A = this chain, B = another copy of it.
Amino acid sequence: MTYPNAPARPPRATLVVTAHAGDFVWRAGGAIALAAARGEKVTIACLTFGERGESAKAWREGRNLEEIKGIRREEAEKAAAVLGAGIRFFDAGDHPLVATAELTDRLVALYRETQPDVVLTHPAEDPYNGDHPAAHRMALQARNLAQAIGYPGPGGIIGAPPVFCFEPHQPEMSGFRPEVLLDITEVWETKRRAMECLGAQQHLWDYYTDLAVRRGVQLKRNAGTDLGLAHRTTAEAYMRPFPQITKELG
């Protein structure tokens, strides 16, 4: 007897719901690369290109809206390919990203199509960027609707895949507490290469490298100090909105 969301059976499908084109790389690139390296299928739902709120450099260079969308799309596609994931663009308009019934319904359809065993998305709070909480709310509501046999639309209902919320840019201001530390050392180089696909945000490459090292130090401290772990452990932090289910504590 196994659960679809317990470690005993490896997850085979992961759905990542993000607000802007770059989010999946900085915040969950390690988790995506690990899943892909295990042969699993990962689908990224990019609700917007981050064309207004996360593309200041391009605007300063005089690009127009469509050009910027094109640049961000291309960068995101490259990064997804490096990580080994598929990507879908919803082009819902950012800054602000507005939650609508129609957009949520498109997410329900994607849940039912991909039948995820694991869901990754933004956490509930971010005082610096309202698009992130909006994506969180839609990701959770769509998951809930996709479970209901009475909700119309194509595809079969889904189970109850565990949800992991990735780290926001300013964790302490967003009520973020690392509840899970994921060791991404084995795929670190892949994540770094994916980050380097995002030319529009080059200043963040080292920033998120430092963060990965810092989370790695935290992982080592929480794992005990003399464990023979690689000197340069890297990690990503996640929160769980729902309880972990397991047959063994550890």
Contacts and interface: CB of A to CB of B under 8 A. Distances in A.
A246 interface: yes
A199 interface: no
B53 A148 contact: yes
Q: How many copies does the complex hold?
A: 6
Contacts of A181: 243-246
B245 A118 contact: no
Scoring A56, A145, A217, A249 by chain B CB atoms within 10 A of each residue's CB, the highest score goes to A249
Scoring A98, A158, A222, A250 by chain B CB atoms within 10 A of each residue's CB, the highest score goes to A250
Interface SS, A side: loop
A98 B249 CA distance: 29
A95 B179 CA distance: 26
A111 interface: no
A1 B228 contact: yes
A204 to B, nearest CB: 10
A94 to B, nearest CB: 8
Contacts of A98: 101
